[in-house]
Structure 1
Amino acid sequence: MDEDRQKIIIVGAGMAGIAAARELCKGHLFDVKILEASHRAGGRMFTTDVDGVPVDLGATFIHGSTNENVIYELAKQFGLISGSGEWRPMWNESTTSAILTNGEPLPSKTVLECWEKFLSVTDEDSLRASPLWAQQYNDLYSYLVAEYPKVLEKDDSTKEILKSPYYSGIFECFLKFQATLEGVAECKCSGIEGIYCDLPGIRDVRFDEGHAYGCLLKMLLEDLPKDTILYSREVVSINTESNPTMVKCKNGDQFEADHVIVTIPLGVLKRRCLDENLVSNESPLFVPPLPADKLKAIRDLGFGQLGKIMLKFDQEITSRYNLAPLMFLWRPEDKEDPIIKQSFPWATEFITLERIYNTNLYETWVDATSLSSIESASEEEIAEAISYVLGKMFKHPVPKPVGVYKHGWSSDPLFCGAYVTHLAGVDTSGCIFTLEQPLYNNRLLFAGEATIKEFYSTVHGAYWTGVREATRLVKIRHQLNSRQS
């Protein structure tokens, strides 16, 4: 009976690959292997342990607290989230500290009123309701620069902010925060009208304290047969000229396959499929090369870049200072600080510092503006930069973090970035549709967050694509069995 099972090779053990394998292994119709380039599963889900606390250095949130979200439902099923509770704003008047980088505090109420108005002009529904904006402005950056002040001007409680010397710091903070969602530096070149669909419920759900994506991953992997995932098997060639398809790994291992599901990140497809991105002695990933329309989709689609840094402070920091959460509101003159300019000019990219539950751990996000410098900076340099900037803001020395944790997603050749983003002037929907189409009579299939137009950039989107391609193969197998019987 085993001889009749079709051989399926899944390239990549991220969420799409794992979801596909879980579906394909249910009916024992296939011989399934996942070839994973690294030593771990999860892809852009990466949880590390800091003093017994699971910390996500990659994917962090579950987007949408609804039974329509497979990840939310799985997390609830496994007891990783409570599944209850009302929506709470990320920043609120009682806990948020709004401090200029010269140490001058600003009224949190005023800053948060500005934030609410910023949300109103970046709301997806608002953008979709006004398609003329997409014609009037070149990108999201130019739209926000022009339209956000108009909203502030209409309200007596916020219009005076426009005349203040700290407006630029407030706007820049909000802009960079939005840029971490878009994956594009300062939202420049970001498309205004998005195609992403928000699911109902809480937009950004965190796992309950003590849990993280790694906990969900562990539960999902338990359903896979032993040795389904082969680690340290970076795929260097997928040859569909041979029959069956031949998949070759960097270590020399080769695998025959009736069907191959490719789930690697868009950034890697850009690196391994486009001639202009191939490095010396590196050959294209696919033999023969992908069709021209698929290569164009890979070239045109935007792949977002952003960074996340986790910081561990000692108990003294937690008890003495209000860091939960803290906005970095930079004054232009503080960016000219000689120490910052000489030692860590990228420190001006820090946006916020937010506490992770009731711990001594804090996270800060940075957009793509100086990401390469931040990813290449040492942990010691980042600790010194944070300590120095906080010292300026609190007007007295602040001890350095005792731990710095990060992963260079953009500089890692196995990822080359974060997730798909919608660029101005690009038919993102059309590109994603082209990318998701199978080739060569379903011998080559594609999954991953870059292949689902409504939920690109999300973990639940990646999961659904894995199920989609697995379902496609199951249907084909059943049709074949029906014809043979």
Structure 2
Amino acid sequence: MGSVIIVSFCSALVLTVLILGEYSIAVPLDFNQSTNKTPKIVIVGAGIAGVGAAVKLLKYGFTDIQIIEASSQPGGRIRGSPFGKSVIDEGAQYIHGASMKNPIFQLAKEHGLLQQAHNSSDPEWSVFTNTQKQLDPDFAIQTWNLGRSILRRTYLRSQEKGYTQAKSLVDVFLEEIKKLATNWSGDSTNLRSQKLGMLNMMMKSQCVDNAAHDLSDVSLQEYNEYEDIEGGDRNSPRLFLKLISNLVEIIPREKLLLEKPVKQILWNGSFESEDGSLYPVRVVCEDGDHILADHVIVTVSLGYLKAKAKALFHPSLPEEKLHAIKNMGFGTTDKVYLEYEVPFWDKDIGPEYGIGLVWEDETPFYGLKPNPAEWWRRLFYFNVLQPAERYGHILLGWTSGREAEFMETLSEEELASNITRILRQFTGKPVPQPKNVFITKWFSNSYTRGSYSHISINSTGDMIDTLAEPLPQEEGDEYPSKMLQILFAGEATHRSYHSTTHGALLSGRREADRLIDHYSTSEE
């Protein structure tokens, strides 16, 4: 028995999750009682998937672990940066499913972090149009909820009509809007424009939720595969950052190597170590170091796999796995933070207050075709970070798609001047220039190449399962070496909870269970 390597550019939180989030009593495997030595585990990355895998493996007696992280800090797509008076979340911010059925919620509760979070409900917002009209709050909420109900009906209609995955979300969304619009014949031109503008704003929100360039990229089967967890969404500023920090503290310092990117994973071989032991896998790092192992759990982002899979693995991955990597959906959602000397909004506002922007000349029928030249049109909503005493006077804007990717290339001055122009155009107020601007750059990050996954019109839920299948699953003529040499985890490998932190965590635990079961069976 040799070594287990967990390859995960998003996975350096490795030693923590098991004790906190699972309530079963672990029975460590006694490798000393067998003729085999303790397997070695190398984790490449610092994300929650690798953490979940490593912690569980440690709990079950897999003690020879090494974590390799490509970037200069652990956390993967959970990361923060100093801004204003505090640290802001670049990545994960919401617990999707605020209940004990969610393993992230479990960990947050056990770490005493839930007091920093609050459930999201109907937004408390001021919605403005590009003609400087402020929409009636009740009208805005009603129209927003109408959009939500349309989205729910699109899934139900798809089941009734038997649509295939090639049917996009926007196709059925527009079918429903057309039916509703037939009842708006008595509306004024302005009212109709405002309704359609609000529904178009809803489409922008869905693009953010799915990290999509356009809802025509998202298969209707996204709603069929993705499962909600009860409890609703909980906005959790800095919760994930503190949770990661707490988990990393448990990891022995010598077990975590930062700035250690992987160049190639050689598998299905017979590589000899200094002591003469043979291993089927060799991980080659960019700095020239080689690490031998029996098993590699790969938790790199789907975006990274899209860019590097063919060069990363030797021999190459099976065609069906490469096909899944190529066709599964993966895009960019970014945040832009604006810090002001003094607020131009009312100070006495609730924790979920925001500013919505509706373009009256946009309708869902026009579509959200990517247009980087007018990137500001994709910015549809700004949260006000609360409380100001903790964060300063800060707005958080949301964007996605090609526009987000283009925004990553702009200077702070370009972002500040154009966003200020738009806010003045919509609110009619002398909005000041922000004194500081920060935009996340998930697309530019060479180890993520985007934000998170969705089921595209070219993919299916089965492809997620294909991506998650280990190599090889069993010994044979084609794979004479040991089985389960390469395993795959990460949010894009969880069929029900892809695109979420809890999906990533559960995927890591799943692969740990796979190895635990494998060695438990071999011990019998």
- Please tell me the TM-score bracket, short chain as reference: 0.7 to 0.9
Partner in structure 2 of residue 266 of structure 1: 302
- For 1:416-470, what per-residue CA distance to the aligned partner results, in whole angstroms no more than 9, with x for missing partners? 111111112422x111111111113111111111111011111001001111111
- Say which is worse superposed, 117-126 or 172-181, in terms of deviation: 117-126
1:183-262 equivalences under 5 Å are: 183-194=211-222, 195-202=225-232, 204-207=233-236, 211-243=238-270, 244=279, 245-262=281-298
Partner in structure 1 of residue 504 of structure 2: 462
Partner in structure 2 of residue 391 of structure 1: 424
Q: CA deviation at 1:147?
A: 0.9
Q: Does 1:60 align with 2:93?
A: yes
Q: CA deviation at 1:166?
A: 3.2
Asked if the contact 2:41/2:64 (under 8 Å) is kept, the reply is: yes
- For 1:349-389, what per-residue CA distance to the aligned partner results, in whole angstroms no more than 9, with x for missing partners? 21101112222222111121422221111122111112111
Q: Does 1:356 align with 2:389?
A: no
Q: CA deviation at 1:168?
A: 4.0
Whole-angstrom CA distance in 2 between matches of 1:84 and 1:388: 32
Q: Does 1:119 align with 2:148?
A: yes
Q: CA deviation at 1:82?
A: 3.4
Whole-angstrom CA distance in 1 between matches of 2:142 and 2:69: 47
1:141-156 equivalences under 5 Å are: 141-151=170-180
Whole-angstrom CA distance in 2 between matches of 1:137 and 1:285: 30
SS in 2 for 1:315: coil
The residue type paired with residue 147 of structure 1 is E
Q: CA deviation at 1:224?
A: 2.0
SS in 2 for 1:460: helix
In the alignment, which of 470, 490, 498 is matched to residue 448 of structure 1? 490
Asked if the contact 1:183/1:421 (under 8 Å) is kept, the reply is: yes
Asked if the contact 1:186/1:367 (under 8 Å) is kept, the reply is: no
Q: CA deviation at 1:320?
A: 7.4
Quick one: structure 1 residues 311 and 329, their matched pair in 2 at CA, closer, same or farther if it must change by over 3 Å?
A: same
Asked if the contact 2:340/2:436 (under 8 Å) is kept, the reply is: yes
Partner in structure 2 of residue 78 of structure 1: 111
- Say which is worse superposed, 365-374 or 233-242, in terms of deviation: 365-374
SS in 1 for 2:254: coil
In the alignment, which of 422, 432, 435 is matched to residue 455 of structure 2? 422
Asked if the contact 2:299/2:488 (under 8 Å) is kept, the reply is: yes
Asked if the contact 1:133/1:143 (under 8 Å) is kept, the reply is: no
Asked if the contact 1:263/1:448 (under 8 Å) is kept, the reply is: yes
SS in 1 for 2:344: helix
Identity of aligned residues (%): 29
Partner in structure 2 of residue 48 of structure 1: 81
Partner in structure 2 of residue 103 of structure 1: 132
Q: CA deviation at 1:318?
A: 4.4
Asked if the contact 2:336/2:398 (under 8 Å) is kept, the reply is: yes
Quick one: structure 1 residues 357 and 344, their matched pair in 2 at CA, closer, same or farther if it must change by over 3 Å?
A: farther
Asked if the contact 2:208/2:400 (under 8 Å) is kept, the reply is: yes
- For 1:86-139, what per-residue CA distance to the aligned partner results, in whole angstroms no more than 9, with x for missing partners? x55241xxx421111221222121122111110011138944773427359841
SS in 1 for 2:245: helix
Unaligned 5+ segments in structure 2 are 1-30, 271-278, 363-371, 473-482
1:278-317 equivalences under 5 Å are: 284-317=311-344
SS in 2 for 1:96: strand
Q: CA deviation at 1:329?
A: 0.9
Quick one: structure 1 residues 415 and 257, their matched pair in 2 at CA, closer, same or farther if it must change by over 3 Å?
A: same
The residue type paired with residue 308 of structure 1 is K
SS in 1 for 2:112: coil
Whole-angstrom CA distance in 2 between matches of 1:106 and 1:438: 53
Partner in structure 2 of residue 476 of structure 1: 518
Asked if the contact 1:131/1:193 (under 8 Å) is kept, the reply is: no
Partner in structure 1 of residue 10 of structure 2: none
SS in 1 for 2:106: helix
Quick one: structure 1 residues 5 and 125, their matched pair in 2 at CA, closer, same or farther if it must change by over 3 Å?
A: farther
SS in 1 for 2:177: helix
In the alignment, which of 175, 178, 202 is matched to residue 174 of structure 1? 202
Asked if the contact 1:47/1:213 (under 8 Å) is kept, the reply is: no
Asked if the contact 2:284/2:291 (under 8 Å) is kept, the reply is: yes
SS in 2 for 1:227: helix
Quick one: structure 1 residues 35 and 54, their matched pair in 2 at CA, closer, same or farther if it must change by over 3 Å?
A: same
Unaligned 5+ segments in structure 1 are 275-283, 334-342
RMSD between aligned alpha carbons? 2.8
Asked if the contact 1:9/1:33 (under 8 Å) is kept, the reply is: yes
Whole-angstrom CA distance in 2 between matches of 1:186 and 1:314: 35
Whole-angstrom CA distance in 2 between matches of 1:27 and 1:186: 44
Whole-angstrom CA distance in 1 between matches of 2:340 and 2:144: 28
Whole-angstrom CA distance in 1 between matches of 2:116 and 2:83: 25
TM-score normalised by structure 2 residue count: 0.80
Partner in structure 1 of residue 274 of structure 2: none
